[in-house]
Amino acid sequence: MKTINDTVNGVQRDIEVYESLGEAVRHAQNNPAPRSSNSSDKEFSLTASLQDACELATKGWSDVRPQVDKLFGELEASIAMVLDESYSIRFDYSGDSVDMGRYMSGDPECMMDYVTEPQARMGRVIKVMVNVANSARITPKQIMDRGVVVVALLDVLNKLGVGVELWTEMAIADKYVDDGKRFSQLVKIHDSSEMLDVDSTMFAIAHPSMLRRIGFGSIEQGNRKDLSNGCYGYPSKMICNDIVNADIMIEKLQDSSEYMTKSPVQWVVDTLNGLDLI
């Protein structure tokens, strides 16, 4: 971990930068005096303890994988229509999805794989940064619902052959929402040179304990201990994009559009369009 203490545009920043989720988890595990990070409120964090959350983050979390797969299945149709030049469909006895027309006609080669063909987008790296800070009134379901959409987007980018660099930022203000000094835990979840670990990604993006145990553990022992004196601060807009230079920034849940979770397929397609990937 490295720390950054500076002032940008009149805002004092205290930032902890972690090069991996594992590094952030180890820091949380070494918390000598855990408070809310080790509470027994499982309904709030969906884990029984800080150690439980750390083990889940380390081993990976797949509870929402069915929702991600379902959403990606819905996205495949859109991808096939708008990316016909970048995907060729291969029919075989096994594959990722079924062609119902072939299946109903009795064709044994009714399973489909989408095979990526070389495109100009190959070699491109898309940086994604997600704000995992949220207020106590945000429910675990809201966190998971948004996370499913984000992970589906990452899954699509990965299948397009685009490199993905993923960061989370827990951005906290000390006076009110978006107001006052800022504390941020900035974590590099995935590097474009690595294979995408979907289960670890899902924990970081879609599990309430990423903030409510791992993030709180950072606040409790960080260089902004004043934030933990009866309050863990207020969710803030992200303040670290000068460090990450993200192509896609997904802000705190208070600022998220319902469009993202109510029309997830269109949101993903619109995002890809905005990046000139389709």
Q: What is the pLDDT of residue 84?
A: 47
Backbone phi, psi, residue 33, to 5°: -140, 65
Distance from C-alpha of 236 to C-alpha of 1, rounded to nearest angstrom: 22
Q: At 147, which amino acid appears?
A: G
Q: At 236, which amino acid appears?
A: S
Q: Which residues of the chain register pLDDT less than 70? A: 78-88, 96, 114-122, 223-230, 257
Q: What is the pLDDT of residue 225?
A: 55
- What pTM, to 2 d.p., does this model score? 0.83
Backbone phi, psi, residue 211, to 5°: -90, -50
Q: At 114, which amino acid appears?
A: Y
Contact residues for 191 (Cβ-Cβ < 8 A; gap 6+): 165
Distance from C-alpha of 112 to C-alpha of 7, rounded to nearest angstrom: 53
Q: Encode pLDDT of 68-88 as tens digits.
A: 888 878 887 766 655 545 556
Distance from C-alpha of 223 to C-alpha of 240, rounded to nearest angstrom: 17
Distance from C-alpha of 205 to C-alpha of 14, rounded to nearest angstrom: 22
Pairing of strands 87-92, 234-235: unpaired
Distance from C-alpha of 274 to C-alpha of 117, rounded to nearest angstrom: 21
Contact residues for 118 (Cβ-Cβ < 8 A; gap 6+): none
Q: How many CB atoms lie within 10 A of CB 255?
A: 14
Three-point CA angle 23, 202, 214, nearest 5°: 40
